[in-house]
């Protein structure tokens, strides 16, 4: 959840950039154009890192009982894990890593990840 909060901060900042602001003001569904770059960067990473934890651990999870939130069904987590896995694998080979990413560059994504890792380490006392 802390990562989601940091991502929201980045998104709020980017909404002030003309390319974001103009698109969002002109079209209420423009967020889906923006998300093509977000998800595209994820898929490019997966193409280039086939030994990542996504492939070696996350996509291999077959059971994850919900013992955390009684307001979600028992299968909530495994259902979401499978959804995320299928979502990224469904188009991951079709993503062109050389296409323009005007709404989220590789450098922006890398900076977000590095900064968020540092934030989490400092916030959570991880050594």
Cβ atoms within 10 Å of 81's Cβ, excluding its own: 17
For 45, the domain range is 2-124
Quick check: 79 pLDDT over 80? Answer: yes
Average pLDDT, the chain: 93
d(CA 74, CA 11): 32
d(CA 125, CA 127): 6
- pLDDT (mean) for 52-69: 94
Q: Are 115 and 50 in contact (CB under 8 A)?
A: no
Structural domains in the chain (count): 1
Look at residues 30, 1, 5 and name the one whose alpha carbon lies nearest to residue 15. 30
At residue 97, φ and ψ (nearest 5 deg) are -70, -15
Quick check: 120 pLDDT over 80? Answer: yes
Whole-structure pTM value? 0.85
State the sign of the Cα–Cα–Cα–Cα dihedral 40, 32, 27, 25: negative
pLDDT band at 127 (very low <50, low <70, confident <90, very high): low
- For residue range 9-29, what is the model confidence (pLDDT) as tens digits? 999 999 999 999 999 999 999
């Amino acid at each position: 959840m802390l990562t989601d909060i940091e991502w929201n901060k980045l998104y709020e900042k980017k909404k002030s950039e003309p390319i974001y602001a103009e698109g969002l003001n002109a079209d209420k569904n423009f967020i889906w154009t923006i998300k093509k770059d977000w998800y595209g960067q994820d898929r490019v990473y997966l193409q280039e890192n086939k030994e990542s934890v996504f492939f070696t651990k996350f996509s291999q999870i077959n059971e994850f009982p919900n013992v955390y939130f009684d307001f979600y069904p028992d299968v909530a987590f495994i259902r979401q894990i499978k959804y995320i896995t299928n979502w990224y694998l469904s188009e991951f080979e079709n993503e062109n890593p050389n296409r323009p990413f005007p709404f989220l560059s590789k450098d922006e994504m890398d900076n977000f990840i590095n900064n968020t890792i540092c934030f989490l380490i400092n916030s959570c006392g991880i050594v």
